[in-house]
Amino acid sequence: MTVGDALIEQLALTPETPLVKAIERLSQNPAKLLLVRDPDGRLIGIVTDHDIRRALLDGLDLTVPVGQFMNRHPMTAPVAASEAEIAAMMLARKLSHLPVLDDRGWVVRVRFVHEFMQAVPAAAPREPTAVVMAGGFGTRLRPLTDAVPKPMLPVGGRPMLFIVLDQILNEGFNRIWVTLHYRAEDIAGALREVPRYRQHVECVIEEKPLGTAGGLTLLPERPTSPFLVMNADLLSEVPLGEMRRFHQREGNVATLATREDHYEVPFGVIETEGTRITSLREKPRLTYRINTGVYVLSPAVLDRLVPDQPMPMTTLVEQLMADGGRIGNFPVYERWLDIGTPHTLAEARGQFGPSSS
C-alpha cells in the first residue's frame, strides 16, 4: 500500500456512518475531508467541516448517517488531468482539496491546494486581526492568581495565554492585540520575551476594566475586515480561520461560537395549571447551547461602542439583535474548556498537557 492509498483509506467511510462517528473522524483528520464510498469503492460524496457544522445547525441527530447530509456532487478531477489543469480548477473554484478519480470512479489520489501554492498568483496582503481579552482578575482561581495573573498560569508547562496566541497565529491571524488590566506589566513583559510574539502581538492597557466589548474602543487601529475576539482563559480546538470564513459567507454582523451542553435536573420536574399537575418528568436531561467566549465581529460593530464606557460582549450582541443585525451561530464540536476554577484548571492540565493529543 502506498502513502496515497493509506491516506485514502484513512479518509474513507460509508454512507451509513453516523454523524457522531464522522465528527470523531474529522477531528482526528488534518485534511478536514472525508470520502464517502459505495460498496464497490466508488466515490459518491464527500463530508467537510462545513457539512458537519451545517448538519449540526440543521438540528440533525448524532445518529443520522452521513449519506443524508454529505455533498453528493463534489468537484473531482480525472486521473488523466495534468498538474496545470488541476491547479487551474482548484484556483477557479477556490478549492482546498480535490479528489482525483479513475475510470471506475475510485479515488486514486487527493490533491491539496498547498501543493500548488507556487502556481497560484500571490493575493493582496491581508492582516486578519484578533483581540485577546486578558485583563481579568481571576478571582475564582485565588490564591493562585494572587502571585500569577490567570493568563500566565501554566498548562502543559506553558502559560495558557501562549497556547491561545499560538493557536491564533497558526490559524492565520497575524495581527493580535492583547487587552490587559490586572498585573498588566507582568504579562506584557513575558510577551516581549518571545521573539514570535514581538512581531505579531501588541498590548493594550485598560486603565479600568471595560468588559469584553468595551476594551475594543482602545484598539490603536480599526480592523478593516472581520476580526476575532476571544477570552484568554479558553483552551480549545475551535477552527478560528474557518469560523471567520463562516462569518463572511453568512453575511453576519457578529458570529458566536456555541457548544451543546447538557444538565440533568436532580429532581422530578412538575408542570402545573393552577392547582392541577399536568405533567411530571423524573430528573429530565436539559439540552441547550452555550456561548464559548469566541466571537467574530464585523468592523462596523465598533461604531456602537462608547470610548471609556464598559460594555460586556453579551450586551453588545443583544443590541445588535434588537436592531435586526444578523447574529451567526457557529457550532463547535471540538474540545473546549473555559478555565475559571481550580477544577477546570486541573482538567485543562490533563487534557492539554504534554501527553494529551
CA atoms of 159 and 72, how far apart (whole Å)? 44
Please report the domains of the chain, with CATH numbers, ordered by start residue: 3-119 (3.10.580.10), 129-351 (3.90.550.10)
CA-nearest of 308, 288, 155 to 232 is: 155
On average, the pLDDT of the chain sits at: 86
pLDDT tens for each residue of 209-267: 888 899 999 999 899 899 999 999 888 888 898 899 999 989 999 999 998 887 888 88
Residues 109, 3: Cα–Cα separation, whole Å: 10
pLDDT score, position 305: 92
Backbone angles phi, psi at 93, to 5 degrees: -95, 0
148 CB neighbour count, 10 Å cutoff = 16
Find, among 129, 312, 318, 319, the residue nearest to 215 by Cα.
Answer: 312
Task: List the beta strands (DSSP E) in 2-41.
Answer: 12-13, 33-37
Please report the pLDDT score of residue 341 as a whole number: 85
How do strand 12-13 and strand 33-37 relate by DSSP bridges?
Answer: parallel
pLDDT value for 123: 46
E strands within the chain? 12-13, 33-37, 43-48, 77-78, 97-101, 107-112, 129-133, 154-155, 158-159, 175-180, 201-205, 227-231, 234-236, 254-264, 268-273, 276-282, 285-297, 327-331, 336-338
Phi, psi dihedral angles at 165 (to 5 degrees): -65, -40
Q: Look at the block and give the residue holding cell 506589566.
A: 185
Per-residue model confidence as pLDDT tens digits over 66-87: 999 999 999 999 998 888 888 8
Query: How confident is the model over 166-198, as pLDDT tens digits?
Result: 999 988 898 999 999 988 888 999 999 998 898
The pTM assigned to this predicted structure is: 0.73
Q: Which of 40, 107, 39 is nearest to 76 (CA)?
A: 107
Whether the pLDDT of residue 291 is over 50: the answer is yes
How much of the chain exceeds pLDDT 90, in percent? 40
Which pairs from 79-82 meet CB under 8 Å and 24+ separation? 79/103, 79/108, 79/109
Q: Which residues pair with 189 in a beta bridge?
A: none
Residues forming beta bridges with residue 99, ordered by sequence position: 110
- Extract the runs of DSSP E, i.e. beta strands, from 117-275: 129-133, 154-155, 158-159, 175-180, 201-205, 227-231, 234-236, 254-264, 268-273
